[in-house]
Homo-oligomer: A and B are copies of this chain.
């Protein structure tokens, strides 16, 4: 008998639960360790062999046929601070439940699919405590060296390796070779709810350009230093933040998303003008052309800001995600599953990054969305309805069954190109 999904979802949401109805389960914190332990037991109870790899990815393998390759399904159990309980976690639990349903169906029928099935909780998708985001899937897909990931520190100087070891979450398991990957996630935007669509077949990602910048100024006394002599790094940063926001005026409405959300200043003291501000600029749009134009506009504005505030703005690093389509066969698989189940569906784009964004460069990948009410996410008020979660689970069960039967085999030749 299949497990009750909603009961498991409620239980899962108690780990790191916040007063505001959300969760705070930043990567490798106690709450993350607790939900991982619970999830590992859930998989083990259904016959999965549960392991952890060197960067803390937690996964369970179910082998119908020893030596056969795998298809993989999952998402992430970690969260942003004071976040919602759906982001990532819904997808991990739906992956497990869908896999269990498919396994039970095969066992009842005495059949075996072409591929074995594995389920994963990717370590540190959120990237809030430890940067960059999508760390676990980044290491597995070769985008981030393992040593770099393990040596990354949180704001208190704790390394990923230390934080994982404290939880006993660093293992010697190795994710099996996989032929395809599937993930289900909340949309985190309002478009599906507004269009009245229950199932989104993600066909493309938005592009994201992220820049870490340092504004260099000079310390001084806030009372006695003359205004004309100041090189106030926080004032320079404030002008950059408003300039980043003003970029949207150069583009059609809602086609460019821009944010500065992380910022550290030194010395951050009441009577001392800031000497340095470090912050992250986040630009997203449908195409890299738009982002390149936005970036060029921003550099022009920043040159003016540097002159006006007598500060220097240094671009110290960038990370660029270009747009790339998802496998067409996977998109069709989702559309067909939704149609068969009588659910409304549409092709959508993802504006947020997901582990699927990493994995799809390696193997054919399917990404399914369910609606986020009012598009609210990274917020305790994040919400998706039980009905949508269950509809998503039904669709995703068909995706798991399809991928295990080799539905994306023909697409595999073209993947990674």
Which residues of A330-364 have CB atoms within 8 Å of chain B's CB atoms? 350-353
Q: Does B282 lie within 8 Å of A263, measured CB to CB?
A: no
Shortest CB distance A185–B (Å): 11
Q: Does A271 lie within 8 Å of B223, measured CB to CB?
A: no
With A188-B224, A238-B238 in contact, is A218–B271 under 8 Å at CB? Answer: no
Does any Cβ of B come within 8 Å of A262's Cβ?
yes
Residue-wise interface mask of A (252-267) relative to B, using a CB-CB cutoff of 8 A (1 in contact, 0 not): 0110111111111111
Shortest CB distance A61–B (Å): 30
Q: Does B377 lie within 8 Å of A270, measured CB to CB?
A: no
Shortest CB distance A93–B (Å): 20
Pairs of residues from A and B, 3 with the lowest C-beta to C-beta distance, nearest first? A238-B241, A81-B267, A128-B269
Chain B residues closer than 8 Å to A21, beta-carbon distance? none
Which residues of A240-291 have CB atoms within 8 Å of chain B's CB atoms? 241-242, 245, 248, 253-254, 256-275, 280, 282, 284
A224 and B202 CA atoms in complex are apart in Å by 14
Does any Cβ of B come within 8 Å of A126's Cβ?
yes
Shortest CB distance A348–B (Å): 11
Number of copies of this chain in the oligomer?
Answer: 2
Chain B residues closer than 8 Å to A32, beta-carbon distance? none
Q: Does A80 lie within 8 Å of B267, measured CB to CB?
A: yes
Shortest CB distance A305–B (Å): 10
Does any Cβ of B come within 8 Å of A322's Cβ?
no
With A220-B379, A232-B259 in contact, is A271–B225 under 8 Å at CB? Answer: no
Does any Cβ of B come within 8 Å of A406's Cβ?
no
Q: Does B235 lie within 8 Å of A223, measured CB to CB?
A: no
Chain B residues closer than 8 Å to A238, beta-carbon distance? 237-239, 241-242, 245, 260
With A219-B379, A235-B242, A270-B282 in contact, is A275–B82 under 8 Å at CB? Answer: yes
Chain B residues closer than 8 Å to A237, beta-carbon distance? 238
Chain B residues closer than 8 Å to A387, beta-carbon distance? none
Shortest CB distance A172–B (Å): 30
Q: Does B352 lie within 8 Å of A224, measured CB to CB?
A: yes
Shortest CB distance A128–B (Å): 4
With A81-B272, A269-B128, A271-B126 in contact, is A353–B223 under 8 Å at CB? Answer: yes
A160 and B265 CA atoms in complex are apart in Å by 24
Which residues of A116-147 have CB atoms within 8 Å of chain B's CB atoms? 126-128, 131, 133
Q: Does A272 lie within 8 Å of B265, measured CB to CB?
A: no
Chain B residues closer than 8 Å to A258, beta-carbon distance? 227
Chain B residues closer than 8 Å to A189, beta-carbon distance? 221, 224-226
With A219-B379, A242-B238 in contact, is A128–B225 under 8 Å at CB? Answer: no
